[in-house]
Amino acid sequence: MPGLSAAELPPETLQPGETLEYYNLAFVSGDPRGHRVALVTRVDATQGVEYPLTLDTGDVIPRHIMTKRVADRFGKPFAPEATKWRKIRTYQLTNGSVDAPS
């Protein structure tokens, strides 16, 4: 079964303070150590920026990485069927920053 093209994805906005799930490219595909859940601490919505997100994990992830939104900026989890795995470049990004809890 083929996946959806970017044009077929429903619009989703990504804001600072939201929690994302992704896989770090430093690990081989399928290695569970590469699975990450991170808080988005800063979003740069400038067109063409290669690394628009700053994460509390310190990982640098480019626009073509697949991510899934896990929780909104208030910490409320999304229902699993409410979000899809998608590339960062397909989100509507909202500029801003938040302080990460320590």
Domain count, the chain: 1
CB 87 within 8 A of CB 63: yes
**Is residue 67 a part of any domain in this protein?**
yes
Q: Domain containing 49: what range?
A: 10-97
**Is residue 4 a part of any domain in this protein?**
no
**Is residue 3 a part of any domain in this protein?**
no
**Is residue 91 a part of any domain in this protein?**
yes
Report yes or no on whether pTM surpasses 0.85. yes
**Is residue 43 a part of any domain in this protein?**
yes
What pLDDT sits at residue 3? 65
**Is residue 2 a part of any domain in this protein?**
no
Q: Could you read off the pLDDT of 67-76 as tens digits, one per residue?
A: 999 999 999 9
**Is residue 93 a part of any domain in this protein?**
yes
**Mean pLDDT, rounded, for 51-67:** 94
**Mean pLDDT, rounded, for 16-45:** 94
